[in-house]
Amino acid sequence: MDSTTLPDRIAFLGGYLPRLCGIAMFTHDLCEAVAEAAPASQCFSCAVNDRIGGYDYPPRVRFELDEKDLDSYRRAADFLNFGNADVLCVQHEFGIYGGPAGSHLLALLRDVRMPVVTTLHTVLREPDAAQRKVMEELVRRSDRLVVMARKGAEILRETYGVPDAKVDVIPHGIPDMPFADSSFYKTQFGVEGRMVLLTFGLLGPGKGIEYVIEALPEIVRLHPDVVYLVLGATHPHLLAREGESYRLGLERLAEDRGVKEHVIFYNRFVSPDDLKEFIGATDIYLTPYLNEAQITSGTLAHVFGAGKAVVSSPYWHAQELLADGRGILVPFRDPHAIAEGVRAFIDDPVLLRETREKAWRMGREMIWPAVAQRYIDSFRRAGADRKAAPRTAFAEWTLASRPYDLPPLRLDHIVRMSDSTGIFQHATFNVPNYQEGYCTDDNARAFILCKLLDELRGRQPAADRERLATSSLAVLSAALNPGTGRFRNFMSHERHWLEDSGSEDSHSRALWALGTGAGRSRNEGHRKLSALLFERGLAAVESFSSPRAWAFTLMGIHEYLRRFPGNAGMIAACEALTGKLVRLWNDCSTDDWPWFEPIVTYENARLCQALLLGGQGLPRPEALGIGLQSLRWLASLQKTQAGHFRPIGSDGFYERGGARADFDQQPVEAQAMVSACLEAFRATRDASWSREAKRAFEWFLGRNDLGLPLYDSGSGGCSDGLHRDRVNENQGAESTLAFHLSLAEMNLADHPAAAPRSPAS
């Protein structure tokens, strides 16, 4: 395809109607407009679903993706490749794709063979680390980038180093509406003779509608005929999380300010035809949005292009669109300024009409037929710019070039092993063993898993994760003995604690989990309780002598510092514990025994991992070097001549000068190795560490001494260990959680957000 050739098959990726969101509406409208502008081309869509079961899509949608399922993105790439799409037009918004910062999308872009044109609905000037890494790869994987305002091109150039030649500035498309007097439409809504103010779109706190309501008393005092129409349903995600609390708060505010007779809430997602009628009846449009960094507003473009006067806060898109007298900009969160802007238009009909005319004339460049033609031009340029070899079905699909296929997430057994209290400790085969009750160790592991899965937005229903996370955290909270400052470990099925204090290791595993909750949780209550318990339980570690307890605590501190970087007390604790492990190494290690103790026992790789984290975060190069050296030795020790992973067995361990125990092999050893090797890869970018993590993970799947899988893909459970002659068929919590934690970390390693933050930053 060259710069003059019209693509035969044009694919669009994003949400799609009837999904209710702005990206879905935009993808639908763009696809239809391009199809009309290029009738000889086949236009079709791959729709991203945000719920199980998807939507009743029209025929244009030929493939559906589950936003939370990484494999569905790879299948979509296969569909596009085999379907010989000539160009793929991606609608990008961080929040509509799965994975950290929407990184699942990258799996699709790595595999597709056609030119990619990506429309950036958000361009962040100050992205966080995960967003920046996703954005940088998105830029690399796209042949052309489309932004809807010149400000977007400026940010791409200054923040991401994107040359202007790669960027097309194409306005947000709008329907073609005549320049008409609003009184023509008002009768059908019962507002004839009144001055109509409008805000429309999915309702949420960032819209700033409360500031317009605060401005209304000042407006209606001089113009009692004003009515403010708030049109649109509450955003589905906000509705699922908080119900109608935001809308109800606005209604109460209108009543408190004495303007309830001047405010109309129309709680519907209206059809395009109905929306034209509402816009037609509007005199002044208000966008009091709160975020300056909003680079695109489809609602603003829609109403502006229809020739309506606009009063807006000065977010980037509004600054650009309303320049040169095409609207009025007012400061953020300023009801008085909003009132003055509205009154300026009402008091000066000439200004109102002139502003409307300027907007409508500029809007002719934004109607969908014009926008569609500019996208077609961009598609042609993408084809001409593409320097890669022609697509072939299998040429680059060798195992070496394809991503490692991980098993699908299946938490059935974890759910089966849990009740309203928490997760049970043991199982007989795949049946929970009530007699053995619960333990803090396993509920700590379960809580960590839930927080990792939240970042992956895994396919398991969110309600299951939330319930398990809440019950596990409740166990951790109850486990902290206020009299001793120590976490208890074992609890009977009758919910009676069986000890006053658990082991040092169990105490520190609880801290690791609570640090993870404090650092990663999106649930505010979980985050606050985790931080509180972590701070209360940390003091006891000062007297601990277990190196693994030091390591687990260091891992918890590292997680805590994700949320609270620069906390002096936590950094001091990190330095102290890192120093203890370094001294332990210096006192014990020799050239032929580069280890921390005279015996290699259990969860060995955690000692290495803790120093990798401390060495990077403080930073402390000596600790990082020890972590890498000790892990390299451990990896060589746990690799057979046949090349598979063989952990140190728990039936005797491995004492210096003695014979190592090869059995019983425990799942937590494989999990610790997976986690530590992935951390070594993040620290060094040395691909050999990724291979070591993969080797350890494949132990669960049957690449082991017996050639038998421990993970049961049917139940979602994992066997308790590998004996000399058989697999232990019981699927307890520790082993099952070890597998799923490993799987979650392997999935996270496929995404940019896996990179750790520096605790001292």
Per-residue pLDDT tens digits for 114-168: 999 999 999 999 998 889 999 999 999 999 999 999 999 999 999 999 999 999 9
Q: What pTM does this model have?
A: 0.65
Q: Are 566 and 621 in contact (CB under 8 A)?
A: no
Strand spans (E) along 190-248: 195-200, 226-231
Range of the domain at 668: 412-754
Distance CA 476, CA 471 (A): 9
Q: Are 654 and 634 in contact (CB under 8 A)?
A: no
In terms of domains, do 712 and 747 share one? Answer: yes
Helix, strand, coil in percent for the chain, rounding step 5: 50, 15, 35
Which residue did the predictor score with more confidence, 22 or 728? Answer: 728
Please, which residues have CB within 8 angstroms of residue 690's CB and are 6 or more apart in sequence?
Answer: 677, 678, 681, 749
In terms of domains, do 202 and 140 share one? Answer: no
759 part of a folded domain: no
Omega before 441 cis (within 30°)?
Answer: no
In terms of domains, do 650 and 708 share one? Answer: yes
Run of H or E including 61: strand 61-66
In terms of domains, do 265 and 380 share one? Answer: no
In terms of domains, do 298 and 324 share one? Answer: yes
User: Which pLDDT band, with edges at 50, 70 and 90, does 754 fall under?
Assistant: very low
The yes-or-no verdict on residue 752 having pLDDT over 50 is no
> What is the mean pLDDT of the segment spanning 641-664?
95
Locus of tokens 């040169």: 324
391 part of a folded domain: no
**Can you give the pLDDT at residue 392?**
44
In percent, the amount of the chain with pLDDT more than 90 equals 78
400 part of a folded domain: no
CA distances (Å), 170 to each of 312, 377, 726, in order? 22, 11, 64
| b/e code 679-701 from CB counts within 10 Å (16+ = b) | bbbbbeeeeebbebbbbbbbbbe
Using DSSP bridges, classify how beta strands 309-312 and 328-329 pair: parallel, antiparallel or unpaired: parallel
Classify residue 495 by its DSSP letter: S
402 part of a folded domain: no
In terms of domains, do 445 and 559 share one? Answer: yes
Q: What is the CATH number of the domain that holds 291?
A: 3.40.50.2000
| b/e code 381-400 from CB counts within 10 Å (16+ = b) | bbbeebeeeebeeeeeeeee
In terms of domains, do 441 and 292 share one? Answer: no
Q: What's the token pair of residue 167?
A: 């960027």
Locus of tokens 């035809």: 273
**Can you give the pLDDT at residue 755?**
40
DSSP string covering 627-691, please?
Answer: HHHHHHHHHHHTB-TTS-B-PPPTTT-EETTSPPP--SB-HHHHHHHHHHHHHHHHHH--HHHHH
User: Which pLDDT band, with edges at 50, 70 and 90, does 388 fall under?
Assistant: very low
The yes-or-no verdict on residue 32 having pLDDT over 50 is yes
User: Which pLDDT band, with edges at 50, 70 and 90, does 169 fall under?
Assistant: very high
pLDDT tens digits, residue range 674-704? 999 999 999 999 999 999 999 999 999 999 9
146 part of a folded domain: yes
pLDDT tens digits, residue range 398-416? 545 555 678 888 899 999 9
In terms of domains, do 513 and 602 share one? Answer: yes
In terms of domains, do 326 and 443 share one? Answer: no
Could you tell me which of 558, 527, 632 has the C-alpha nearest to residue 589? 632
Q: Are 391 and 114 in contact (CB under 8 A)?
A: yes
> What is the mean pLDDT of the segment spanning 12-31?
94
Residue 148 three-state SS: coil
In terms of domains, do 329 and 430 share one? Answer: no
Q: What is the CATH number of the domain that holds 637?
A: 1.50.10.10
Could you tell me which of 736, 734, 741, 667 has the C-alpha nearest to residue 438? 734
User: Which pLDDT band, with edges at 50, 70 and 90, does 75 fall under?
Assistant: very high
Run of H or E including 118: strand 116-120
In terms of domains, do 683 and 604 share one? Answer: yes
pLDDT tens digits, residue range 489-517? 999 999 999 999 999 999 999 999 999 99
Could you tell me which of 80, 82, 84, 131 has the C-alpha nearest to residue 109? 80
User: Which pLDDT band, with edges at 50, 70 and 90, does 3 fall under?
Assistant: low
> What is the mean pLDDT of the segment spanning 200-216?
90
Q: What's the token pair of residue 89?
A: 């037009």
Distance CA 293, CA 127 (A): 11
**Can you give the pLDDT at residue 313?**
95
What is the pLDDT of the chain when averaged over all its residues? 91
Distance CA 409, CA 405 (A): 12
- Domains in the chain, number: 3
The yes-or-no verdict on residue 573 having pLDDT over 90 is yes
326 part of a folded domain: yes
Residues 750, 718, 477: CA angle, nearest 5 degrees: 80
In percent, the amount of the chain with pLDDT more than 70 equals 94
**Can you give the pLDDT at residue 236?**
74
Backbone φ, ψ for residue 82 (5° rounding): -70, -25
**Count of CB atoms within 10 A of residue 192's CB?**
11
In terms of domains, do 328 and 464 share one? Answer: no
> What is the mean pLDDT of the segment spanning 366-391?
83
